[in-house]
Amino acid sequence: MNEAVVLTPERILEVTEDVLRRYGLAKATVVDVARALDVSHGSVYRHFPSKASLRDAVAKRWLERVSTPLQTIAQEQGPAPARLERWLRALFAAKYTKVCDDPEMFATYLTLAREAREVVKAHKERLAAQIEQILSDGVEQGAFEVADLKVSARAIFDATIRYHHPAHSEEWSDPELSARIDALLALLLKGLEAPRR
């Protein structure tokens, strides 16, 4: 074992993902992660005090890969309606890509996410806050009329859940999916539109 190796939480998480990919969630252990890092399992526990905390961190890292690019869209300048549509389409595409590109790993992360309830709750709140930011910009621009930004942001998140929640991933191969998304987004944007004066 190479205890002289400088371990960082990021390095541990990278290796943990590789271990999960190799062994699967049910069989992967902290000892497997330590072995892959060529350190003792105690070295891993110095950064992550339990197997559950390591799993939560892996789930958080995975979810941040979805939310970080969306945050960029939420913070952009420009017309809020176009940004909201682009944000929602990017969310749908990110989830769809994860399912299609690596279905085994997606299944692993889905199980991890179910276990990491607080991490998932924080992720959903982060996404709803991004929608809220776009709505607020739209109100300032005179493009949207929204009585309660927080409630409306959460309603949009919930109304589009079929296209981004993993529980619906089996429906994402529907050939009519694109047309359904177009219709839903058109309806949402029309509903948010401020009346012309």
Q: Write out pLDDT tens, residues 140-161.
A: 999 999 999 999 999 999 999 9
CATH of domain 55-192: 1.10.357.10
Q: What residue ranges do the domains of the chain occupy?
A: 9-49, 55-192
CATH class for the domain made up of 9-49: mainly alpha
Q: Could you give the percent of the chain with pLDDT greater than 90?
A: 63
Q: Write out pLDDT tens, residues 86-110.
A: 999 999 999 888 887 777 777 777 7
Single pTM value for the model: 0.86
Higher pLDDT, 80 or 116: 80
- DSSP characters for 150-189? HHHHHHHHHHTGGGT-GGGGGGGG-TTHHHHHHHHHHHHH
69 Cβ contact list (under 8 Å, min separation 6): 90, 94
Question: Any alpha helices (H) in the chain, and if so which ranges?
Answer: 9-23, 30-37, 41-47, 51-75, 80-101, 103-115, 117-141, 149-159, 177-192
Q: What is the rounded CA–CA span in Å between residue 36 and residue 80?
A: 46
Could you tell me if 78 and 98 are in contact, meaning their C-beta atoms sit under 8 angstroms apart?
Answer: no
- DSSP characters for 92-107? HHHHHHHHHH-HHHHH
77 Cβ contact list (under 8 Å, min separation 6): none
Which pLDDT band, with edges at 50, 70 and 90, does 1 fall under? Answer: low
Q: Could you give the percent of the chain with pLDDT greater than 70?
A: 97
Q: Write out pLDDT tens, residues 45-102.
A: 999 999 889 988 988 888 898 899 999 999 999 999 999 999 999 999 998 888 877 7
